[in-house]
Structure 1
């Protein structure tokens, strides 16, 4: 049986140990020959890699392991690239969140000005990895879950139209796990969903069990009262800010009670509420740096110090097992049904055919086949058209190095109140992103 070679791009990420533990847990489904870590920050990656090497030696000594900053070594002889890069790291995420808040605009990682700033940093990084993969392993596939996924997906559509890249997001998967818990099901895989939207910007409109029974009414009733907060507390997030987001879904759902919303829509529908409840001195980036980042790097250093992973508190990112499902679908032509970010091309009948939409797809060895979700209602269509225009303008601004188009993108974002505020935010963001953005003119 073939064993697969995998490169994890963003090897120094706090998510890397959890991904590796998850891959080990699913070796029966996806046998692995080698794992390589690739990052352009050697120092940061060395800590994660040092711990992962010990962990693999103890739990799966048959897997070859290597960490490198050399693209040729990283991308030669591989089957899959699993990419979760963060250009500028959490230090820049903190600026993405805090600069807009100075102007009374939501500061968020993937939504509004923060997401646009992050997108301008991410595009070049993701395209670089695609190019390395295609140069050194032209038959490999890239499974990309780097944020902001919508902007990155539009960039690869426009600028690398023939690349073998699949863009996927774990947020709908996480919400579907909460739905399964609400219904008392053992897994989200017991549900078959219909969903349409953009990344971090979508709606479920049909959910059934494998026998075809309609599960939507029971879910709608729960969400209208509790959002996605579940009785099973183990399903809730460790960070209170996330549980507030799950609860806020009930206010988002009110706008279209017949559907179930993606949680991120709160930033567009209730941006005034979000700004009022944000701490401009301590944002989500600070929470992550003080929480997950400190914990993961602390655990990795402990493993290196003790030269054993015995008793480590690093845990499997079971939530990320969708990555194995995706790799398996490509490797074994399983025809798994999954939500992916793909070119619309007729999936949503009354929507821009070139828009990168998030819809259910059947995934096999030749990639995804989007399923037709039909026509979408006017309310969602209007919102989505505005947001797609923002995403396309950001990619064009990056490609053409156009200040004008980036200003237009920020002005058009539903989270920004005026062109003058958009300009003030843009100028501040430009100042701190000189090292990462193309030079705009």
Structure 2
């Protein structure tokens, strides 16, 4: 069985140990000969890498492991680049969330002004990694799940249209896991065949069936109408902010009961609610929660492994959502013809929508890449929302490419989350100041 060589771009990420654990869990179907880490922050990466080195030596000594900040070393002799970078790290995410709140607009990492700010930082980093791959391993595939995926995908379409990059997001997968739990399906979401359309973090399920073709939508809708995507209303296992998001899906669903919504639509359909009720305090946002919990816990677990010299009973946990990236890599490596949601150029798949839009739809994945599944026409409500949002994304990328202040102001003004052009301008001016080390200069 063919063994693959991968590089994880974003080796110092708090998600990296979970990805390594998940790769080991699925080594029988996606065997590896080599794992490399690449990051431009040597000190941060080393803390994670030294722990993962011990883990791999103990659990999979046959897999070669290395970590580096040198692009040539990292990207030579690889079959897959798994990219999940965060330009500016959590310190900049905190600013993305807090600056809009000063102007009466919610702060969120991938939606609204925060997502636009993050997108302007991410474009250059993702293009840089793609160029390294093409220079040192031209036959490799880049599997990108760096956020904000919609803006990054549009940038790669514009700037590197012929590159072997596939943009994905695991958020729909996470919601499908909940749907499968609601239904009590024995093999989870893999027992479902879905039709879904939209933009990244901005989509709808229009058909869900089991392997025999039976319609599962009515049962899921009945649950969502009462509880949203909270599986068991009696016991809340999620963090408060996530619990609110899953519960609010009930109100998002009510706006269009013909479909089932992605949870992120709450930010666009109920921005006033989010600003007032989303468990966010102007001085303590989701970024602070992450830094105090995930960030602290993962680095503490890594330190403990290094100090003990063993990963036995370590606190690293397999990242189940990330199993989606193994599904994708396996489908390409072994020509599995697997059905998966990808972010791809529309080009007629949604017949009444912009052909150049990067849409999230089901595709069949094999060794030559993907084939899109035709969705056909979508309803006016979804089409209208998507036209507005895709224009925001295209204007952001245009602003990055041309260095245009005007285009970025237009992007913020057009966002459904921002109430007026004057508020958009005030937020933009603050974001420019905060991002001067990361964004191209705007004129």
TM range, smaller chain: over 0.9
Q: Aligned residue for 2:294?
A: 292
**1:336-415 correspondence runs (5 A):** 336-415=338-417
Residue 211 in structure 1 maps to residue 206 in structure 2: no
Unaligned runs of 5+ in 2: none
Q: Distance in 2 between matches of 1:33 and 1:403?
A: 47
Are 1:51 and 1:301, in contact at CA under 8 Å, matched by a contact in 2?
yes
Q: Aligned residue for 1:436?
A: 438
3-state SS of 1:338 partner: strand
- Per-residue CA deviations over 1:92-120 (Å, capped at 9, x if unaligned) read 00000000000110100000000000000
- Per-residue CA deviations over 1:98-156 (Å, capped at 9, x if unaligned) read 00000110100000000000000000000000000000000000000000000000000
- Per-residue CA deviations over 1:278-304 (Å, capped at 9, x if unaligned) read 311111000000010100000000001
Q: Aligned residue for 1:416?
A: 418
Deviation at 1:271, TM superposition (A): 0.5
Are 2:227 and 2:233, in contact at CA under 8 Å, matched by a contact in 1?
no
Are 2:341 and 2:360, in contact at CA under 8 Å, matched by a contact in 1?
yes
3-state SS of 1:61 partner: coil
Q: Distance in 2 between matches of 1:37 and 1:151?
A: 25
Q: Distance in 2 between matches of 1:372 and 1:209?
A: 20
Q: Distance in 2 between matches of 1:232 and 1:276?
A: 23
Q: Aligned residue for 1:226?
A: 227
Deviation at 1:243, TM superposition (A): 1.2
> Cα RMSD between the aligned structures?
1.0
Q: Aligned residue for 2:103?
A: 103
**1:52-67 correspondence runs (5 A):** 52-67=52-67
Q: Distance in 1 between matches of 2:412 and 2:63?
A: 46
Q: Aligned residue for 1:177?
A: 177
Are 1:84 and 1:144, in contact at CA under 8 Å, matched by a contact in 2?
yes
User: TM-score, normalized by length of structure 2?
Assistant: 0.98
Deviation at 1:365, TM superposition (A): 1.0
Q: Aligned residue for 2:160?
A: 160
Q: Distance in 2 between matches of 1:26 and 1:313?
A: 19
Q: Distance in 2 between matches of 1:22 and 1:48?
A: 15
Unaligned runs of 5+ in 1: none
3-state SS of 1:254 partner: helix
Are 1:181 and 1:232, in contact at CA under 8 Å, matched by a contact in 2?
no
TM-aligned CA distance change 1:55 to 1:238, over 3 Å: farther
Deviation at 1:323, TM superposition (A): 0.7
**1:245-324 correspondence runs (5 A):** 245-277=245-277, 278-324=280-326
Q: Distance in 2 between matches of 1:85 and 1:232?
A: 35
3-state SS of 2:20 partner: helix
Q: Aligned residue for 1:202?
A: 203
Q: Distance in 2 between matches of 1:101 and 1:154?
A: 27
- Per-residue CA deviations over 1:249-305 (Å, capped at 9, x if unaligned) read 000001001110000000001100111123111110000000101000000000011
**1:10-159 correspondence runs (5 A):** 10-159=10-159
Q: Distance in 2 between matches of 1:160 and 1:124?
A: 12
Q: Distance in 1 between matches of 2:308 and 2:252?
A: 48
Deviation at 1:383, TM superposition (A): 0.3
Q: Distance in 2 between matches of 1:180 and 1:135?
A: 42
Q: Distance in 2 between matches of 1:438 and 1:400?
A: 9
Which aligned runs of 4 or more in structure 1 are off by greater than 4 angstroms?
A: none
3-state SS of 2:195 partner: strand
Deviation at 1:312, TM superposition (A): 1.0
Deviation at 1:190, TM superposition (A): 0.2
Report how many aligned residue pairs link the two structures.
Answer: 440
